[in-house]
């Protein structure tokens, strides 16, 4: 496995829309992607009132095949269940997380190292976890905000790396949704945060021995697209793209990750409340068409997308679904399906942009 080939690191919750999107991407693109999967509960049914997370893990395994991936656990209260709570417990060196990984995962995964200052102030449990598993994995991952102080990075990363043997570490710098902050203050303050964090981490003792990559993660897809303009046809910038272009210019060693065009705080759609919409992206912008619900809304939206001069096909599953809908035979008529179409095409576009 050539770990240097990974250039795109999308963060995906294990919900139907995200999993459908990445599963539809051809392996010729996915071999450049190291996705970060946040395990969420599965769909609750009559026979599964818990929402067993093993179902989601099995879906990941089927999608990834022999391709590696980073495995994390959601902290979203709406997507948790008792299984997830136990995996996040720091007791006995995150014993439940360690045991669950042993039972259910092979060594192609890159496990996330959990840090919980409220319950593990001195990081002794995080250190114990790393010490217990470092011999099992070639790579591990640590996810931190990009706005910590130098002393905080030194303390956290130093504690983790003190327990590593030959395992190398991905450090994910994640500022979540940056949309509102960019609108208020511009891009420069956030760019500065990532630059400073990257410089601090890269300069830590013996970094060349343990540091695999530092990855810049952020998102900016709006919570409500309708709030981006007054019309049912519109566009808005992809701020994470502009952020990374600025960072790549100044810090070429920094890698790119995002939320695959899905809002960090996902909206729960309820019957009768959504307006059909089809989106597509260029390198730096999203474009959308919306139409109040009737039998032909998605057909109308898809037709408008195909006619838009900004639309460029990737010959993907997502493009095929847009073509099919424009021809009057949409495969799906719900928001989740069209999120998958958007995310599929978006992730392909990111790989293309990053390969240039």
Q: Is the Cα torsion angle 239, 241, 244, 250 positive or negative in sign?
A: negative
Q: Which tokens go with 82?
A: 């008792």
Phi, psi angles (nearest 5°) of residue 48: -145, 85
- Same domain for 204 and 166: yes
Judged against a pLDDT cut of 70, whether residue 268 lies above it is answered with: no
Number of domains making up the chain: 2
Measure the CA–CA gap between 158 and 215, rounded to whole angstroms: 18
Question: Stretch 266-283: mean pLDDT, rounded?
Answer: 77
Would you say the pTM of this structure is higher than 0.75? yes
Looking at residue 269, its pLDDT comes to 56
- Same domain for 158 and 19: yes
Domain stops at, among 242, 273, 304: 273
Looking at residue 20, its pLDDT comes to 98
Which residue in 250, 265, 183 sits closest to 219, CA to CA?
Answer: 265
Q: Which domain holds residue 35?
A: 3-273
Q: What three-state secondary structure class fits 337?
A: helix
- Same domain for 98 and 154: yes
Residue 141 is part of a domain; what is its CATH number?
3.20.20.70
- Same domain for 94 and 221: yes
Angle (deg, nearest 10), helices 317-326 and 297-307: 120
- Same domain for 179 and 64: yes
Give the H or E element holding residue 17: helix 16-23
Tens digit of each residue's pLDDT (9 = 90 or more) over 93-141: 999 999 999 999 988 899 999 999 899 999 999 999 999 999 999 999 9
- Same domain for 202 and 237: yes
Q: Cα dist. 259→13, 98, 105, 217, 350 in Å?
A: 9, 26, 24, 8, 11
Measure the CA–CA gap between 248 and 259, rounded to whole angstroms: 18
- Same domain for 267 and 323: no
Looking at residue 30, its pLDDT comes to 97
């Amino acid at each position: 496995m050539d770990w240097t080939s990974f250039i795109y690191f999308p963060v995906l919750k294990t919900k139907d829309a995200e999993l459908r999107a990445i599963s539809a991407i051809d392996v010729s693109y996915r071999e450049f992607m190291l996705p970060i999967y946040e395990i969420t509960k599965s769909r609750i049914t009559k026979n599964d009132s818990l929402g067993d997370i093993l179902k989601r893990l099995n879906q990941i395994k089927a999608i990834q095949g022999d391709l590696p991936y980073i495995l994390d656990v959601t902290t979203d209260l709406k997507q948790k269940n008792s299984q997830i709570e136990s995996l996040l417990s720091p007791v006995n060196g995150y014993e439940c997380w360690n045991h669950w990984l042993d039972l259910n995962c092979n060594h192609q995964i890159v496990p996330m190292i959990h840090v919980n200052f409220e319950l593990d102030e001195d990081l002794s449990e995080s250190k114990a976890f790393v010490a217990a598993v470092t011999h099992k994995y070639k790579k591990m991952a640590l996810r931190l905000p990009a706005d910590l102080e130098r002393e905080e990075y030194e303390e956290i990363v130093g504690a983790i790396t003190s327990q590593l043997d030959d395992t190398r570490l991905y450090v994910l710098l994640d500022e979540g949704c940056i949309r509102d902050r960019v609108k208020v203050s511009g891009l420069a303050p956030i760019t500065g945060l990532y630059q400073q964090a990257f410089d601090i981490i890269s300069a830590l003792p013996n970094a060349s021995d343990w540091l695999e990559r530092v990855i810049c993660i952020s998102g900016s897809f709006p919570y409500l697209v309708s709030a981006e303009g007054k019309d049912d046809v519109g566009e808005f910038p992809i701020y994470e793209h502009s952020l990374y272009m600025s960072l790549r210019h100044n810090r070429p060693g920094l890698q790119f990750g995002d939320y695959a065009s899905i809002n960090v705080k996902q909206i729960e759609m309820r019957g009768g409340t959504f307006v059909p919409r089809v989106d597509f992206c260029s390198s730096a912008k999203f474009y959308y068409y919306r139409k109040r619900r009737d039998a032909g809304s998605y057909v109308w939206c898809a037709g408008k997308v195909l006619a838009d001069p900004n639309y460029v096909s990737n010959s993907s599953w997502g493009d095929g679904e847009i073509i099919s809908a424009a021809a009057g035979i949409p495969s799906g008529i719900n928001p989740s399906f069209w999120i998958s179409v958007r995310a599929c095409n978006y992730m392909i576009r990111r790989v293309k942009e990053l390969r240039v």
